[in-house]
Amino acid sequence: MKILLIHGPNLQLLGRRQPTIYGTADLATINQGLRRLAAARGASLTIVQSNHEGDIVGLIGASKDRYDAVVINPAAYTHTSVAIRDAIEASGVPTIEVHLSNIYAREPFRQHSVIAPVCRGQVCGFGPESYRLGLEAALGLAAPQVPAARRAARKGRRMGG
């Protein structure tokens, strides 16, 4: 299974930026835990952080046939980016939207996601745990996407075949 994780704008500031809202865990710590989880589940995890909408759109656009699922924290683009929304929809890759904070308990302008309607699901409000839950969901969605031949080949290798 191959999963793409995209961190949107300003998430490189985690641990320092508004810790009462986003917590004290930094991005490196969050990523380390997610890499461990993916490895334990036999998945490959590619992690990218970008402050640039076009870069994120490009990553999503290139995800078809490269990844079995996408986990994205679009951050501020959650509320404004039709381009990211359209890329997710066009890619056809199962996508999970995650947020550290509960966007529905925040300022009114943050309470609407233009991304959510084209995602398979959304996890928000659990701090760094939102990422773990989102990755677990993506792994569950990706498992049926992995071609039977790849699953059989992996099984054969584990059995010594």
> In the chain, what is the straight-line distance between the N-terminal and C-terminal CA atoms, in Å?
20
- 52 assigned to active site: no
Closest CA to 94 of 47, 143, 128: 143
CB burial class (10 A; 0-12, 13-18, 19+) of residue 127?
A: middle
**Structural domain of residue 129, as residue ranges?**
2-158
Q: How confident is the model at residue 14 (pLDDT cuts 50, 70, 90)?
A: confident
pLDDT in tens, 58-99: 999 999 999 999 999 999 999 999 999 999 999 999 999 999
- 104 assigned to active site: no
- pLDDT at residue 24 is higher than 90: no
Task: Name the active-site residue from 7, 22, 67, 131.
Answer: 22
- For residue 40, what are the contacts with CB-CB under 8 A and spacing of at least 6? none
pTM: 0.86
Task: Name the active-site residue from 7, 67, 77, 99.
Answer: 99
Alpha-carbon span 143 to 2, nearest angstrom: 10
Half-sphere exposure of 146 (CA within 13 A, CB side): 19
Closest CA to 134 of 81, 73, 57, 56: 73
Between 88 and 143, the more confident residue is: 88
* Helical pair 53-61 and 82-91, crossing angle rounded to 10 deg: 10
From residue 26, alpha-carbon distances to 16, 38, 46, 84, 119 in Å are 8, 19, 18, 25, 26
Tally of structural domains, the chain: 1
The token duo for 125 is 């409000």
Residue 29 · residue 95 · CB < 8 Å = no
CATH number for the domain spanning 79: value is 3.40.50.9100
